[in-house]
Amino acid sequence: MSDVLIASRAPGADLSVPGASGARQFWRRLRAQRAALVAAGAVAALVLVALAAPLLTAVEGQDPTTYHPDLVDSARGGVPVGPFGGAGGEHWLGVEPQTGRDLFARLVYGARVSLGVALAATVVQIVIGVAVGVAAALGTHWADQLLSRFTDVIVAMPLMIMSLALLAIVPSSFPRPVLVALVIGLIAWGNIAKIVRAQTLTLKGLDHVAAARLSGWGGWRIARRELLPGLAAPVITYAAILVPQNITVEAALSFLGVGVKPPTPSWGQMLTAADVWYQAAPQYLLLPAGALFVTVLALTVLGDGVRTALDPRAASRLRVGTGRRREAASEGSGGTDPEGPGGAEPEGPGGAERPGGAERGGAV
């Protein structure tokens, strides 16, 4: 998991504070990485597909919930009629076994659920994490102790297990996708709170914050104007890791039958019964599995790219990127890496940084 190295960096927090020019620098560095660009394109395409799901299915002339019993062979246990699982002009990717629902429609609507739930959960995680982290860093000693210990408890809870159990007890009248997003968001904000707390503590000691305090600014104004811009880099970096992780968790929960429930389509849920049908209708397995794989892969690569763009030093430790040299050249700084073996830079303070902090909490 890519968050290992990030988490180990956070306490050191020597990330540069992006200002107005920081955003432009960020884009330039992101564009310099070919893999990240491709991934960004893939993510953009996926988001477009998710947004345009009603449009796409309207063009196809199908919808994700209508049963087509005439298209499945009930004598053979519900196998889709026709070659390639019933794929053709009517149903572009064929139909679901047993129910005959349109696979293409379920797949694109599934993208909506998958991305929507993951993004919403990430927003919840960021809001809680930033609030708790900033409050702990700026609050009194006791507030800090209380919040930090509570964060430790939250971090120690296995995400999959807790969300699985929590989803069982909430009344089913609640809209399911919203609920899944909330549950994931409410359980897995611990690491972001830790990172934000550490970064805020560092920022608090910086001159411009002290100057703001001395000129009589209130706590709110300082937090909003001086601290939040400095928190942007680590929060964005970590959020880029959380989104693919949340997608996997949602898919896993739906796969287990406690996440998004039918008739709402979800990739994880589509895979639940897929193993029974792989011979008769292989695309019933391959399509949601492939969609899940491509989405998580693209988001992970994009997340790596975002981190590299925000913190170029971390990149050299991850891989020898050609993009890095191009970026260094384009910035006109001239000096590339001090060319250690394989271009790896020695890390700064090795000290008490420990890896794996972010690994806790049951990644799937």
Partner 1 sequence: MNGFPGFALRRTVGTLATLLAISVVVYVVFYVTPGNVAQITCGPRCSPVQVQQVADQLRLDDPLYTRYWHFLQGLVIGQDYSTGASVQHCPAPCLGLSYQSDQQVTELILAKLPVSLSLVSGAMVMWLILGVGTGVLSAWRRGRLSERVLTGITLAGVATPVFVIGLVLMIVICGELELLPFPQYVNLTDDPEQWAWNLLLPWLSLALVEAAAFARLTRASMLETLAEDHIRTFRAYGVGERSVIGRHALRGAFAPVIALNANTVGSAVGGAVLTETLFGLPGVGRELVHAVDVVDLPVVVGTVLVIGFFVVIANAVADVLYAVADRRVVLT
Structure tokens at 134: 């900033």
CA distance 364 to 72: 34
256 forms part of the interface with partner 1 (CB under 8 A): yes
Amino acid at 284: Y
- The answer to whether 301 contacts partner 1 (rule: CB under 8 A) is yes
Pairing type for strands 79-80 and 72-73 reads antiparallel
Q: Where are the beta strands (DSSP E) in the chain?
A: 72-73, 79-80
Is 4 an interacting residue with respect to partner 1 (CB under 8 A)?
yes
> Which range touches partner 1 (CB under 8 A), out of 64-72, 103-111, 150-158, 203-211?
150-158
Residue 159 near partner 1 by CB under 8 A:
yes
Contact range with partner 1 by CB under 8 A, out of 98-106, 147-155, 216-224, 230-238: 147-155
Binding of partner 1 at residue 356 (CB under 8 A)? yes
From the list 141, 275, 333, 334, which residue makes contact with partner 1 (rule: CB under 8 A)?
275
Letter for the amino acid at 159? L
Supply the minimum distance, in Å, between the C-beta of residue 161 and partner 1.
5
Instruction: Please say which residue, 331 or 359, places its beta carbon nearer to partner 1.
Output: 359
Applying CB under 8 A, which of residues 18, 116, 158, 262 lies at the interface with partner 1? Answer: 158
Task: Count CB atoms within 10 A of the CB of residue 352.
Answer: 7
- On the question of a cis peptide bond just before residue 54, with omega within 30 degrees of 0, the verdict is no
What interhelical angle do 228-255 and 190-204 show, nearest 10?
170
SS (H, E, C) 119-133: HHHHHHHHHHHHHHH
Torsion angle defined by CA atoms of residues 348, 245, 168 and 156, in that order, rounded to the nearest 10 degrees? -10
User: How many Å apart are CA 270 and CA 273, to the nearest integer?
Assistant: 7
Q: Are 60 and 105 in contact (CB under 8 A)?
A: yes
Q: Quick one: 75 or 153, whose CB is closer to partner 1? A: 153
Q: Is 42 in the site for partner 1 (CB under 8 A)?
A: no
Decide: is 156 part of the binding site for partner 1 (CB under 8 A).
yes
Contact in structure between 299 and 43 (CB atoms under 8 Å): yes
The correct pick among 59, 165, 178, 210 for binding partner 1 (CB under 8 A) is 165
Q: Please report how close the Cβ of residue 232 comes to partner 1 at its closest, in angstroms.
A: 25
Q: Report residue 21: phi and psi, to 5°.
A: -75, -20
321 binds partner 1 per the rule CB under 8 A: no
Report if residue 166 touches partner 1, rule: CB under 8 A. Answer: yes
- Token reading at 273: 């019964």
Task: Tell which one of 278, 329, 330, 331 touches partner 1 (CB under 8 A).
Answer: 278
318 near partner 1, rule: CB under 8 A? yes
Q: Which of 240, 349, 345 is nearest to 2 (CA)?
A: 240
Minimum distance, C-beta of residue 278 to partner 1, in the bound complex (Å):
5
* Binding to partner 1, residues 84-103 (CB under 8 A): none
Cβ atoms of 128 and 189 within 8 Å: the answer is yes
End-to-end CA distance of the chain: 10
Residue (3 or 327) nearer to partner 1, CB: 3
Task: Determine if 5 is a binding residue for partner 1 (CB under 8 A).
Answer: yes
Q: ∠ CA 45-66-170 to the nearest 5 degrees?
A: 80
Residue 285 near partner 1 by CB under 8 A: yes
Under the binding rule (CB under 8 A), the answer on residue 145 touching partner 1 is no
Tokens found for residue 99: 């129910």
- CA nearest to 265, candidates 238, 292, 240: 292
According to the binding rule CB under 8 A, does residue 300 interact with partner 1? yes
The yes or no reply on residue 45 touching partner 1 (CB under 8 A) is no
Among 126, 128, 137, 160, binds partner 1 (CB under 8 A): 160
341 binds partner 1 (CB under 8 A): yes
Point out which residues bind partner 1 (CB under 8 A).
Answer: 1-2, 4-5, 149-150, 152-153, 156-162, 164-171, 244, 248, 251-252, 255-258, 268, 271, 274-275, 278-279, 285, 289, 292-293, 296-297, 300-301, 317-320, 340-342, 344-347, 350-352, 354-357, 359-364
